[in-house]
Every structure is written in structure tokens, then in C-alpha cells.
Structure 1
Amino acid sequence: MNNLQLEKILNEKLSPHLIKDYAPNGLQVEGGAQINRIVTGVTASQALIDKAIELKADAILVHHGYFWKGEPAPIRGMKGKRIRALIKNDINLYGYHLPLDIHPELGNNAELARLLDIEVEGGLEGHAQSVAMFGRLTASLTGEEFAQKISKTLNREALHIAPDNAEKVIETVGWCTGGGQDYIELAAQHGLDAFVSGEISERTTYTARELNIHYFSAGHHATERYGIKALGEWLEKEHQIEVIFVDIDNPV
């Protein structure tokens, strides 16, 4: 497959033109024109690049790529080393951030809902491009039971901040993978029983307690493994190209 053809296929599937993002979506670093093997992963770290080189991949497809808004422009230091490795080995780098979070079929939020048995009802922000979602558990759970379910499913111990009424049963849930902790207030305004995100901030603890809502922090990396994995599996099935998912462990 041609590298520009792959970008076109991904853009048609993920529609990055529909959402304002913090980084460019699509082909971020151009490598060789012909792509036969793709490595997917959460973040374009040096460890993922090294693994892609070892696997003789022609492309890397990630959720967290490069050139974030506000970051220093010079290609030097860690950033320079990463990009030199890509160019030296003729590897294309594709990154899709918010478009992969919100995709209704392959997105991080959609995949987390599937894994946690949540029936999606809509976006917390009230529109199709909402990066935070809400829905209903297929079976109600206590806070302790839901924490155990998250921990077992994601293989990462979830941090649970319980409301004053710790026995409050959970039926409705809001969630946003990654650094979506500040959507907790919107979840409380919707009258939801619980909110799940990847990261937690110091302020989140007090917000959860004072708004009387269960809160679960399940890890930025752990909650965002599944969208990029699903996207790679879709590419392999629909376009007959070899895709290898590489999970570089990250405890955050």
C-alpha cells in the first residue's frame, strides 16, 4: 500500500477535519512510499520506534504522536532522536488523537464502553464530537464491584474515590479516556452515579466527594490501549495489510 493512500483511508475512517485538535492528525513524519507492515501503539515513544525497527515495519500508527500545540519547535534532544530514527529507517509516522478518542465504532471511548459493559447513550457535551460520553451499565454494581471490574478488565488497579454514601449503587456512568478527569462536574450535572477517566488530579478527589459521585481513575495508558488496537485490526481486516499491536507498558 502507498503511504499517502494509507493516510487517505485513515482520514476517511476517522474524519479528523471535523474536530479541532491539539496536534496534526494524519501523516506526521513521511517515510518510504511502500507500506507492507504497520506497528500500532498508544504513544510514539523511543521504545515503540525501536520495536518497529526490530520488526522491520514501514509505518507506525499511534494515538499520541508529535508536534503538540505549544511544544518547542526545534527538532533536538529526545524529539530529535526519535525523528532521526524514523527518517533513518524510512518509517512513516501517523498520529490520530481526538478523532480516535471519539470515533463511535473504533474509538477509545467506544472500546472502553464495550469492555466495561456500558450501553452508550450519548455525549456529555451534547454533540457528536463530544470527547466525554455517558451511558448505562448492563447490570448495576456497587462502587467496589465496579472498581474490581475495571481493574480486572484493564489489568491495572483502578483508584476509586467514593462519595459520602459509599454504598450508592452504580447504574449510570460517564467516562472519558486519558486526561478527561475534569468532565466529572458535567457528569454530576447529568445526575450520573459514576465517572471514569484515565488520569486523576488532586482537585478531582474533592470534586467527587462534594458532588456525591463515584469516581474511578483507571490510567491514561490503560484506558487508551484499545482504540488504536481496534483501528489496526480494522485496517488488517478491511485492507489486507499486516498490522502488529505493540503495548509499551506505562503505569500512568
Structure 2
Amino acid sequence: MLRSEFEWLLDRTLSPNLFKDYAPNGLQVEGKAEIKRVVTGVTACQALIEAAIDYQADAIFVHHGYFWKNEAPQIVGMKYRRVSALIKNDINLYGYHLPLDAHPVFGNNAGLADAIGLTDRSPLQPSLPLEQSIGLVGRLGKPIEADAFKVLVEQAVQRDILFEVVNDKAIQKVALCTGGAQGYIEQAAKLGADVYITGEVSEQTIHIAREMGIHFVAAGHHATERFGAKAIAEFLSNEHGLDAVFVDIDSPA
């Protein structure tokens, strides 16, 4: 597949034009004109680049790419080592941030919702359609107690979680937004969710949870955002015949 066709496929699938993002979505570093082998991952760290070099990949697809708003523009130090490794090995780098969070099939939020069995999904941001909302709300098939819910989420993200249980209310209505989205907890509470799941926690988040009566889960930024890159690898492989693999460079954050 030509590089231009590959980017067209990704843009058609993920619709980056619908989002005002913090970094450019799409091709960030140009490499080979033809793409056959693809490595996907959460973050374009040096370890993922080295894994792509070992795999002889033509392209890397990530959720967290480069050139973030307000970051220093100079390509020096760590940034130089990363970019130079891509250029020297003629590897294309594609990054899709908010579009990969929000996609209703391949997105991080959708993947986490699938893993815990949420149905009747609606946007966490009610003014937006589900495919543009940064976060979603859904329901479990039946109410479950906090202890059982903790096990369910830990199985989904494959790690221990921080779980602030604020009352003895069973859980059925679940709001979630993967990554560093702890700031949406008040919105989740206003929508009547029993629990809010995200990746990270701030000190004030726990107080908000207690005072607004909503259980809170911080399940890991990296852990909650593996779903999208993994789904894209499967999509490229199963539906478009590319040699695509997801490589998980673990992070405890």
C-alpha cells in the first residue's frame, strides 16, 4: 500500500478533521513510499521504534506521537534520537490522539467499554455525537458490588487499579474516559454515573469523588489506552492484508 493510500485509509477510518487536538493527527515523520509491515503501539518511545526496526516495519502507528502543543520545537536530545532513528531506517510515523480515543469501534474508550461489557452507550459530552465525545457512558447488564467491579476492571486492563469506593451503592451505570481524563469526573457525576473510570488521578479527584458520591477508578494511563492501537493492528491485518502487529511497551503510569 502506498504511503498516501495508507494515510487516506487511516483518515477515512478515524476522521481527525472532527477534532481540535493537541498534536497533529496523521503522518508525523515521513518514511518509505510503500507500506507493507506496520507496528502499532501506545507511545512512540525509543523502545517502540527499536522494536519496529527489529521487525523491519515500514510504518509505526501510535496514540501518543510527537509535536505536542507548547512543547519545545528543537529536535535535540531524546527527540533527536527518536526522530533520527525513524529517518535513518526510513520508517513512517503516524499519530492519532483524540480520534483514537473517541472512535466507537476501534477507540480506546470503546475497547475498555467492550472489555467490561457496557451496553446502551451514550456520549460523556452530551452536546456531541458518540463518535466525537471524549468519553462515554454505558450500563452493565446488572448491578454489581464494588468488589466484583474491581475484579472486572483489573481483568480488563491487566493490572492493579486504584479504586476509591465512596459508598455502599452497587454499580451499573458507568462513565469512562481513558488516559489522563480525571477532570471529567464531575461531568460523570452530573450524568448520574455510579462510577467513573479513567487512567490517572489527581489529589483533588478523590475529594470530588467523595463529595459527589461517585466511585472512582484510576486504572493507568497506558493500560487504558492499549485498546485502540491493538484494534488498529487487527483492522489493518484482518481487513487490509497488511503485516501489522501491536507491540506493548509497558508503563506503570
Sort the TM-score into its range (normalised by shorter chain). Answer: over 0.9
SS for the counterpart of 1:20 is coil
Task: Tell me which residue corresponds to 1:152.
Answer: 155
Task: Tell me which residue corresponds to 2:27.
Answer: 27
Letter of the 1:139 partner, please give it.
Answer: K
Q: 1:130 aligns with which of 133, 146, 156?
A: 133
Q: How does 1:1-252 map to 2 (within 5 A)?
A: 1-126=1-126, 127-128=128-129, 129-163=132-166, 165=167, 167-252=168-253
SS for the counterpart of 2:35 is coil
Q: Deviations over 1:145-201 (max 9, x none)?
A: 1111111221110111111x2x21001010000011111100111111110001111
Mapped to 1, the partners of 2:234 and 2:156 lie a distance apart of: 19
Mapped to 2, the partners of 1:61 and 1:201 lie a distance apart of: 29
Letter of the 1:151 partner, please give it.
Answer: E
Q: Normalised by the size of structure 1, how large is the TM-score?
A: 0.97
CA displacement at 1:120 relative to structure 2 = 4.1
- Moved beyond 3 Å, runs of 4+: none
Q: Deviations over 1:202-222 (max 9, x none)?
A: 111101011111001100000
Question: What percentage of residue pairs aligned between the two structures are identical?
Answer: 53
Unaligned runs of 5+ in 2: none
Q: Deviations over 1:108-166 (max 9, x none)?
A: 11111000111142112111211021111123211121111111221110111111x2x
Residues 147, 159 of structure 1: 8 Å contact kept: no
Letter of the 1:147 partner, please give it.
Answer: K
How many correspondences in the alignment?
A: 250
